Structures are given as structure tokens and as C-alpha cells.
Structure 1
Amino acid sequence: MPVHTAASRLRPVDVMLERQWDELVVRSGAPPFMRPGWLRAWMDAFAPGEPLHALTVESGGEPTAVLPLRQQRGTLRSPTNGESMIFSPVVADAAAAAELADRLFDGPRRTIDLTSLPVGGGAPAEALVAAAARNGNAVLHRTTNVCPFLDVSGDRDAFVQGLSAKRRQSLRRLHNRLGAAGEVTVTVHDGREHLDALLREGYRLEAREWKRAAGSAIISRPAAAKFYTAVARWAAENRILRLVFLRLDGRPIAFSYNLQQGGVLYGLKLGMDDEFMKFSPGVLLTQHLIDHAFADPDVRLFDYLGQNESYKTEYASGTREQVRLQVFPGPTGKLRRAAVVKTGELRASLVNRLPASTRKRLVAVRNRITL
């Protein structure tokens, strides 16, 4: 394993670091959600005016590890919220990941709060989790999400045959019903042409009635709309945007917002026209996305992202765990950890006692809060 003789520091992100960091993401195979373009769009939308910092490990003037962070009143936080997909250190190799973890927890004793960290399979974030308890830190480590994915490096026909007979029959019936209703087309756009018009169509489909009621649709929240629009422009410039539409007689009835990078197709958002629910357009579009992933020789994995929902798990070959890591240093660390645990338990207990209608209103309020 390579040994790094390197400097390590927390520094404001400047233009040169962004360039070097972006190159490291691409070389290392880190997800697009760790590229500066994604995180700049996130900061501009959800933390406007706040500077973005990064903990770096450097060797020969080049970063070998980068961890973007926010500094808030003695706490280092990941630049993440409910719109974030994956947050992970960007590292050249395992040695850089270990050194980054050492510097994060052996430096000034600050509270640390990192979310959406993928673990398992030797993921770079595991070095952070392993190092968190050093120096007597109190640590809270919780699973927050389990994301399904599908290996598409094999044969598409073999995958379809592996589905249950009931599912195959259901898909054939849905395809036939939609085909009988009119001309069915599926289009994949990279956003280099007509991007604004495509996003307007897509956002309308994503804003389903229940999402508008809960305040969780993209167009229900100005910050979210600003974020996804900025990400789409950045991704189109970098040739990684994939906007997919299912159309009936030219009318869009389902939409998927995706990024494709490093052999992975990432599914960020899925929307559909509720008027056509009898055709299950979301199910059909998901099947078309799977077909697209199998057909593209540059794609080996379809990452559904989001929650481990039934319509995803049926088409999944595995899952990825995501965790939240909170570190409370110093003599009061254990007390602060206990207070966070107790507050979470009380909140969950109170919410569970509320009527369903009240819980929905609380969800709507929460979804309008950007941070």
C-alpha cells in the first residue's frame, strides 16, 4: 500500500483546488455528488453566502484526499440535506483515506456531523467511521438509508428471465395496454439542447399531487428548483446528464432525472402524470431505464438512490447502506451524545402519537426547511 508523506489542512475551496479536486473525483471513480459542481450548486441553493471548506491531504502539491465541509459554530458538517444522494471522502487510495481520517479526528477537537456516508465493500467513508472513536470521542453512528442497486454488466435477457413469472406477465400487459392507447416513445436527452424546456416538462411530472400537498415537489421549494436546475446545467456541460421521458402520442407521461458517470447510472428523481396512472408509467419508465443501462456498454451499475422501496428492490441485485456519523469530543461528549439520542427518541414517540393528517402537515413543513 502506498505511503503518503503529505500535508493536511482545512482550507477554503478556491478555483485551483476545485480543478484538482474534480480531477481526483474522475480518476478515483467517486460519485458525481462529490464533484465541486454538484456541491457548489448545493451551497448556492441551500447555504447561500456561506463559504465551502475542504480538509485535504496533499502530496507534491496535488490533493490525494478531499473532504468538503461546512464550518458552523465549532462544528464541522457535511454539505448535505434531504436532496443529497451520497457523501463520501474523495481519495486516491486506502492510504490517503486513512490519513484523511487521522487528520480529521486528531486535529482540533470539534463536533463533527456527516450524513449520507456509504459504508461496506471498503468504501472510503469506512476509514472515517473506524477512526471516529479515537481520543475518547463519543460517537453516534446510525443507519439512515439502505439504497438498492442493479448490476447491469450481465445479460439483459437473463435478468428479465430472473424476474417472477407474475412480474413478467404484468410488464407485458402494461406495455400492451399503453401501446394500444397510442404511439409510445422513450427519449434520452443529455441537456445540451432545449434544457430549460425539458426541465419544465420534467418538473411538472415530478410534482405529483401528493408531493405538492406534502411540499416535497421540486417546484414547491424555490431552493430545490434552483439546485436541480443548476445541477442540470453543470451536468449537461460535463456530458453526464440524462433526462429520460416516456411519451404517449408525443405527450410526456413519465420523467426521470439521472446522472451517468464512471460506469454508473444514478436515478435522482422520478415523476409521472397521475392522469395516466392506470398504465403505471413509472413502472414502465423504470423498465426502460434498466433496458437503457443494459444496452449502454459504458454502464455497469444502475444505482436507484433514495429509499429501499418495493418497486426498486424487485429489480435490485444488492443494497448499499448509508449512515450518519456524529462525533462529540471532550469531557462533555458522552452527555451531548446521550442528549441527542434522547431527543430523537422523544421526537419519534411524539410524532407517532399524532393523527396521520397532522403528520402530513409536519412533513410538509419539514420539506420546506432547506437545512
Structure 2
Amino acid sequence: MSVTTELIEDPAALEALRGEWDALCVACAEPICSPAWMLAWWRHVAPAGASPRVVAVRDGSALIGLAPFYVIAGQRPATYRLMADDFSSNVALLAAADRIWDVAAATGAALAAAHPRPEVVALAPLSASKPWAEAFADGWPGRMRPLTGRLRYEETATLVLSGTYDEWLAGRSAGFRKSVRRRARAFASAGGVIRLSTPESRAEDVAAFISLHAARWRGRDDSRLLALGERLPRLLLDIAGRPTGEEERMRLFIVELDGRPIGADLSLVAGGEIVDINTGWDEEYRRFAPVQLVTLHMIEDAFARGERRLHLGWGALGYKRVFADGNDPAIWDVLVPPGGGMPRALAATAPALLRSRVRDGALRALPEQRFTQLREAKQRLSRQARRPE
């Protein structure tokens, strides 16, 4: 069989590819690269002037890879980015098992011949477990290899779902188990329930999630979801909608007390992988710890479904590590291909690369706990500075 590529620049052609695309995302266990998520982002969030440069890679008739890039017209240096890179805690490219190098080489050849010719290829934020930057650099056409650099690295909390929920809970600390049981009893005694959103309740549940998420972020300015304004409910309902025969990729749990939503959790699912997107809660019911309740319910549900891993993202690690047992770091890599635009690309990327090297040097010089404390203190001061008087 021969490997072939198709460079897709028409959004309608992406819709036509949706069935094969979704099947590959399931095989790769990458819900964050599902067409449900990516195409909804394209319709509701993509920046003005953006145009798809999606590369579909086939071996014979089989789709073995998909690289969902886009480029913004007139941007200099011409930068190819991955769809939803400005919105997701992580993004992904798709490659069938043991085909990353084949897919990267074929994709690089397609991008090198695209218009505009890429001067910067942003591979971010990706899982550090998959060597995409190295594979692109090795397989890029021509005698000169592209230059690569790392702009950022963030630890990410994950939980491998092996055994049973009861076995997992038994492995937590005695204090954690006692706290969980006490809050669960109090919540149940108060008439609380946790339910999974259904197509019939979807519009109401999405509205509840947005309201609770807004309550969580009240007084702060850094919620990418809330920044969408009126586009947010349309985005979430678009993700939940799907063609006949396609499995649902969005999962929304609602925590209710006497019929009133007090917490919610939104995630994406495919191929046994759950990617937690965001949460919301009502501070009035803080005593019940709605986020802990819904996270535990999500974990128990995942065990019952036979799913394999929960990806909790790279923010607020102190809270997430209570549940997690692993780390799948997110990385922000950049690739600068050889060509006439290289000086301009290097001038644009050099400051960020330099800042990254200084930050990495500080990380090596400081104990991890101290570095984390300093970063959290900086974030608190930044939020306080943005609050109105």
C-alpha cells in the first residue's frame, strides 16, 4: 500500500470526512481531536480570517492520520496552528498505532507545498508522550531539518482506571475516604442527586453548567469559556449534537439538590479516554463540596463503563492530584521550517524561546514545591490586580 495525503481547505470537506475522522479518534483514544469538538470550535470559536489546512493521511483507502491545522490569512510569519489550540487544555494530532513517523512525514510534505508556505508550525499544547516535533523534524522534505524548540511545559494530572472503583477508593488515604463518605451521606440526606445530561434535558443542563461556571469564575477574567459570551451555549449544544450513528463525545454531569443545580462537570470521551474540560459550582453549597462529589461520580461511572483513563488537565494541580495517579505533561513545541521566511520566523519565536529557557533554568534551580508556590502566588497577585476597586 502507498501513503497518500489530501490537504483540505474547505470546511464542507471536513464534514464529509467526519465518519472516518471520528473512528480514528476513537482508535487513538483522543476525544480532544474528535470532529464533534474540532468542528464545533471551527464554527463558533475560530479566529477571523482563519482557513483550514487539514491534512488527511491514508494508507491505501484507510485513514491512518489526521492533522487538523489552520492558518490565518495575512499573518506574518505564516503560522500553522492546531484547531482549538487557543481554547483547549490540550490538543492532538491523530496517527494509527505505530504510524506517527509516517503520518508526520506525509503531513510535513503536504504542508511544505501548501499556500501560504508555513514559516512557523505550532505544535501545542500536545501530550509529551507522543514525539510529534521530532517526527516532523525527521520527516520534513528537503536537505535541511527544521529548527525545533519548546516554549512551555506543564504537568498534567491523569488517573489510570484499572481494577474497580472500590479498589481505587481503598487506595486513597483514610482521611480522604472518611471525608468522602461524610459528605456523600450529608448530600444524600439533603435529597441530593447526580445525573447525566440527556438529549431531552440538554439545553437546560447546558444553561445550568454555564451559570455555575460563571459563579465559579466571578471576579476573575481568565475563563476562556465565558469569554465566548452568547456563542458558548451554541458551541456546547453543537458539540452534543451528532450525525446518526456517531457516538456522543460530550458528557455533562449535573449535581442537584431538591431539583436545583449546584454543581456540574463537562468532559469529552472517546476510545476509553475521558478529558475533563471544566466545572462549575454554587458557593452557597460549598459545605457539600460539589466538585468533589461530581468528580468521584465521574470516576465511578468511568470504572463502570470500562474506560481506561481520566485526563484532568494541567491547571489547579493541587486539587487534581487528590484523585490522580499519573502525569502526562502538556508541551508547547514550535517548528521553524527552512526557507526564505526563516529569519522572520526566528525573530518572532526567539523571545518566547528565551523566556522558556530562563523559566526552565529557574525550575531546575528551585525545588518543585517552591517553584509551584511561587507560580501560584504570582497567579493570585495577577487576579487581585485585575479585580475592580
Q: Same fold (TM over 0.5)?
A: yes
Sort the TM-score into its range (normalised by shorter chain).
0.7 to 0.9
> SS of 2:204's equivalent?
helix
Residue 145 of structure 1: how far off its partner (Å): 2.7
Counterpart-to-counterpart distance in 1, 2:103 and 2:151: 21
Query: Residue 131 in 1 paired to residue 130 in 2?
Result: no
- Superposed CA deviations along residues 125-153 of structure 1, whole A, max 9, x for unmatched, are x1443432762422112443322221223
Cα distance change of structure 1 residues 179 and 241 upon mapping to structure 2, 3 Å threshold: same
Q: After the TM superposition, which residues 1-371 of structure 1 pair with which residues of structure 2 at under 5 Å, given as runs?
A: 5-13=2-10, 14=13, 15-26=15-26, 28-47=27-46, 50-72=50-72, 73=75, 74-95=78-99, 97-105=100-108, 107-108=112-113, 110=118, 111-120=120-129, 123=130, 126-132=131-137, 135-180=144-189, 182-189=190-197, 191-211=198-218, 213-214=220-221, 216=223, 218-222=225-229, 223-234=231-242, 238-297=247-306, 299-307=307-315, 309-330=317-338, 332=343, 334-342=346-354, 359-360=382-383
Counterpart-to-counterpart distance in 1, 2:243 and 2:267: 10
- Superposed CA deviations along residues 329-348 of structure 1, whole A, max 9, x for unmatched, are 3352655442333467899x
8 Å contact kept, 2:25–2:271: no
Counterpart-to-counterpart distance in 2, 1:356 and 1:128: 30
Cα distance change of structure 1 residues 362 and 94 upon mapping to structure 2, 3 Å threshold: farther
- Superposed CA deviations along residues 34-75 of structure 1, whole A, max 9, x for unmatched, are 122321111112226733221232233443211011123432
Q: Which moved more, 1:321-330 or 1:97-106?
A: 97-106
Gaps of 5+ in 1: 365-371
- Superposed CA deviations along residues 239-293 of structure 1, whole A, max 9, x for unmatched, are 3332212222222211111233212233212111110112222112212222222
Counterpart-to-counterpart distance in 1, 2:329 and 2:309: 16
Counterpart-to-counterpart distance in 1, 2:330 and 2:41: 20
Aligned pairs, how many? 349
Counterpart-to-counterpart distance in 2, 1:345 and 1:302: 31
For normalisation by structure 2, the TM-score amounts to 0.78
Cα distance change of structure 1 residues 44 and 361 upon mapping to structure 2, 3 Å threshold: farther
Gaps of 5+ in 2: 360-374
Cα distance change of structure 1 residues 172 and 18 upon mapping to structure 2, 3 Å threshold: closer
8 Å contact kept, 1:33–1:85: no
> SS of 1:213's equivalent?
coil
Q: Aligned residues: percent identity?
A: 22
Residue 367 of structure 1: aligned partner: none
